[in-house]
Each structure stands twice: as C-alpha cells, then as structure tokens.
Structure 1
Amino acid sequence: MMMLDDPASSEAMFTAIFAYTTLIFSFIGGVWWGFSSADGRRPGWADLTLAVFPSLAAFLTLPLVAQTGPDGAVLLALLVLVSPVIDLRFRRRGLAPTWWMRLRMPLSIGLSTLLGAAVWLVR
C-alpha cells in the first residue's frame, strides 16, 4: 500500500507500522522484566531500568514523530535494531533461554528494516 501513489494510504500504513513497532518494543521490555525476575531473586535496579526503558523510549518517540514527522521514527528503528544486545546480557547470565537469540535477531532486524522502509517510503 505504501508503494501506491496515494499519500493518504502511505501515511496510514506508516502510522500502523510505527504503532506496531512501539507495541513490540514495549513488549520486549516486559520480556526483559520477566528475564530479570526469572531466577527468583529480587531484580536489581539496572535490570529494572533496562526493563522499563523500551516502553518509555517507545512512548517518547510518539511526540517526536508528531513534531518531526516520519524521520522521528528512525530513532525507534535503531533502538529495536540494537536491543538484542540487552537480550544477550540476559542470555549470558542464564536468564534467557538458549533459543532466544535465534528468535530475537531476525525479528529485530526485520522489524527495524520494516520501520526504516516505511519512513523512506512515506517521504
């Protein structure tokens, strides 16, 4: 739909892809919260801060995009792309399952690429 010569459709699809990305990034924070609590011990402040960061960052990109337009979504695409670094931290501590990184890497790259392409196409 974004490749059609219809600005209204392009903007609607960009909004949908951007909204989906903010939801998924917030979900990642919930997964990190679960990982940080997985061993039954009380999570440290660093883990809890990491777990809350995706939701806050996704939320803060909303006014950024509202003010700067689609280009503001590039920040979210980059955050999604680098977020598996935190998953790797949990994996090395034995808190994330072995298969987790095989899932996260392609999904993060795919979602980041999708949002980046949407930014490029809506211009």
Structure 2
Amino acid sequence: MAEEPTSPWRRFAEQARAGELYLDDEAAARQVIAACNQRLDDLEALMHLSRNAQNVSGFGDFDMADMLAGKFRKQATGTENSIDTIIAKDVEVVKDMRDIMAISIARLRGQDYTNSAAITAIIDSVGE
C-alpha cells in the first residue's frame, strides 16, 4: 500500500513543533482554537450520521438490489473516497490547525510545547 501524502496542515504543524512557524497574535489563535473545537464537534456529529449510512437495506431480494446496496455502502465506508474516510481526514486537518494555534500561544507565553500534554493543556485552557 502506498504511503499517503502529507497534508499541508500536517507539514505546518511539524514546522510549528520545530519552532519554525507560529501565529504572533494570541487573541486570533484563541479564536481559531475555539472555531476548531466547534468544527471537531460538528465533524463528530457527521461521523455519527455516516455510521448510520453504512446500514443499507430495503432494495429488495434480488441480485441487482444487493449490488446497489453494495455501491451505497462503499460510498459510506471502506474506500479512500468514502464519507467516513473523508470526515476522518478533515478531523486530522482541524486537529493540526488547532495544534498550530496552541503552539503559537505557548510560544507567545514562553511555555513548553514540546509534548502533547502541554498542547492539550493549552487547548483545554482556551475552552474555559
């Protein structure tokens, strides 16, 4: 299986972790984190709906109905372009964006941001 290409936001997050990239406006970073948290909640709701779409039935009791149900199921799950895969990729992008903003806040405050616990603490503090 070929390795999936790295998203631009993943590269930006890696640059932020390396200290090469950050946003120099804490208020803006906090607003982006809040928007990212809301987007993650929205994507989780979509993921829940996509799980419901995986249950395909009601096309009848014949071979063509089974083929049609299979096509709809593939749109919901199990392929590179299925809705659950697309939502999962979006979740990763939003998490990378949020991490960049948390690292930016940490750098502006002179805090350690070299481990995930520190980044999570910053993200949690923004929600308060």
Give the alignment's TM-score, normalised by structure 1: 0.41
Which has the greater radius of gyration? Answer: 2
Compare relative contact order (CA 8 Å, sep 6+) and give the higher one, 1 or 2: 2
Give the alignment's TM-score, normalised by structure 2: 0.40
